[in-house]
Each structure stands twice: as structure tokens, then as C-alpha cells.
Structure 1
Amino acid sequence: MKMTAQEYARRVQKAGPHSPLLADCLWAFCVGGGICLLGEGLRQLFLRQGADAETAGTLTSCTLILLSAVLTTLGWYQKLAAKAGAGSLVPITGFANAVVSAAIEFKAEGRVPGTGAKMFLIAGPVIVYGTLAAVVYGAVLWLLGASAL
């Protein structure tokens, strides 16, 4: 059966689900903003309890990672991501979700070869890139500092 491009496009549009783009974008924006608002609320809480700005930021990051890991383990983060789309990919919570999801997926293969190894499928490249970028950045600063002396 041969069909034209227009006929194919018409059939795809008829068969595919309707996606309200503007509503989806607004919902993703609100969910992502809500996660960021939660982070800022946590940061302010830590500041009010006497932590300095750097420590409050670190505690906020750790808390968001922990919350994301727990929600992923309970299966709730995936439900949020299914509804929120890109809004749930706020970097710190999305990354924690990706690492924990990979670890949970391969749990049946055992603790070390499954969970321990497979969670680095996602985290490994990020850790390697972060370490390499830090070394390059440090080397550039060292070279610039050495030539200025």
C-alpha cells in the first residue's frame, strides 16, 4: 500500500493522542518551579537554624537528593515525572532519580554486580566529566597564575 506524505500525516494525527502543548509546558514549568521553591524553602530553614550560606546550600542539596531517592524507591517520582515531564528533571532531583532508578532496575542481578555496578551507568559519565573538568579548570588557573608571577 502506497500513501502520500499528507495521507500518512493525517493518519498519524488521527491515531495519535492529542497533546496540549501549552498546558504541558505550563505544568512542567510549575512542577519544576515547585521543586526549586521547595529547595529555597529548605535553604531558608537551614539558614534560620544557624547554618552559614555554604552549609545551608549543601544541606539543601543533600535533602533534595534524599527526597528524590526516597520518592523514586517508593515509585512516586516516576508518577510525578509521567505527569510533569521535563519539569521533574530539575538537575539535582532528576539526577538522583536516574541513579536510584538504575540501581532498583538491576536489583535482581545482586547487590554488587547489579545494584552497585548498574547505578554508575548514569552517574559514571557525570562523575568522570566533573572530575576531568575540575582538573582542566585547575590546570588552566595554575598556568594563568604561574605566568602572572
Structure 2
Amino acid sequence: MKLTPKDYQGMADKAAPSTKSYITIPSAFVIGGAICMLGQAIQTLYITMGLERDIASSSTSVTLILLSALLTGLQVYDKIARYGGAGTLVPITGFANAMVSPALEFKSEGLVLGLGVKLFTIAGPVIVYGTAAGFVYGLIIFFFRLY
């Protein structure tokens, strides 16, 4: 039996569960907004403690990453993500979760071949493309400032 792409798509649509976007979209908005509000509260706390705005912003990012990694290790972040969906992926906390989750799964394989390798499964491409984009951006700035 040979399937056409249209037939295959029809079978896939029947087998896939329907999404309840009227529930998932608002919950993603609420959870993502709550994460951002937490970040703003942390930044305001750092500023009231006397840190300059730039340092407070960097410290807030580090704090959110630390909280996300801790909550991932305690298996709380996955429960939040199950409810919040894409709302937990967009902020910086989603990246930290994406790094820590595979590392936790493979920690039994050792520090280097398990934990170390899996930490950079997600981070590796981000670091490579981020560095390349920064280099290209630097070249653009360099050449446009000369003229």
C-alpha cells in the first residue's frame, strides 16, 4: 500500500490529539508573565539593595538561571512547564531547564561522559551560533563605523 502525502497527513491528523488552544494559550501567557514578573521583582530588589541597574540586570539573569536549574533538579520546573507550556520556554529559565534536564538524565554515566556531554547538547549550538552571530555583527559595526 502506497500512501500519498495527503493520505499520510490525514492519518496523522486523526491520530494526533487535538490541542485545546483556548486553555493552553492563556496558561502559557500567565506562566510566562509570572516568570517575567518574578524577574522584575528580583531586579527591583537588587536595585533597592544598592546595585546599579546594569549589574542588577545581570544578577537577575543569573538568579533566574540558578532558580530554574534548582527547580529542574527538584523536578518542579517540569510540573510548571506541563501547565505553562511555551510560557516556560521563552524566558531565560527555559534555556536553563533545557540544559539541566538532559544532564540529570545521564548523570549515572559519569561526570564527563554523562553530565558534561549532555549539558552542552543544547548549549553547544547556541554558543556556536551566538559566537558566529556576534562576530558577523562586529564586522558589520566595524565596516559601517569606518565610513
TM bin (shorter chain): 0.7 to 0.9
Aligned to 1:103: 103
Greater relative contact order (Cα 8 A, min sep 6): structure 1 or 2?
2
Mapped partners of 1:56, 1:89: distance in 2: 23
Distance 1:124 1:18, change over 3 A: closer
Deviations 1:41-97 (A, max 9, x none): 011111111111110100100000000000000011011111111111133000000
SS at match of 1:51: coil
Q: 1:41 aligned to 2:41?
A: yes
Amino acid across the alignment from 1:105: E
Summarize the alignment of residues 1-149 of structure 1 with structure 2, pairs less than 5 Å apart. 12=14, 19-146=19-146, 148=147
Which has the greater radius of gyration?
1
Mapped partners of 2:99, 2:34: distance in 1: 22
Equivalences, count: 138
Structure 2 unaligned segments of length 5 or more: list them: 1-6
Deviations 1:83-121 (A, max 9, x none): 111111133000000000011111111100110011111
Mapped partners of 2:27, 2:79: distance in 1: 14
User: Larger deviation: 17-26 or 54-63?
Assistant: 17-26
**Identity of matched residues, %:** 49
Distance 1:19 1:139, change over 3 A: closer
TM-score, normalised via structure 2 length:
0.86
Structure 1 unaligned segments of length 5 or more: list them: none
Distance 1:50 1:118, change over 3 A: same
Mapped partners of 1:28, 1:144: distance in 2: 41
Aligned to 2:4: none
Amino acid across the alignment from 2:70: V
RMSD of the TM alignment (CA)? Answer: 1.9
User: Larger deviation: 133-142 or 28-37?
Assistant: 133-142
Amino acid across the alignment from 1:81: A
Mapped partners of 1:56, 1:136: distance in 2: 29
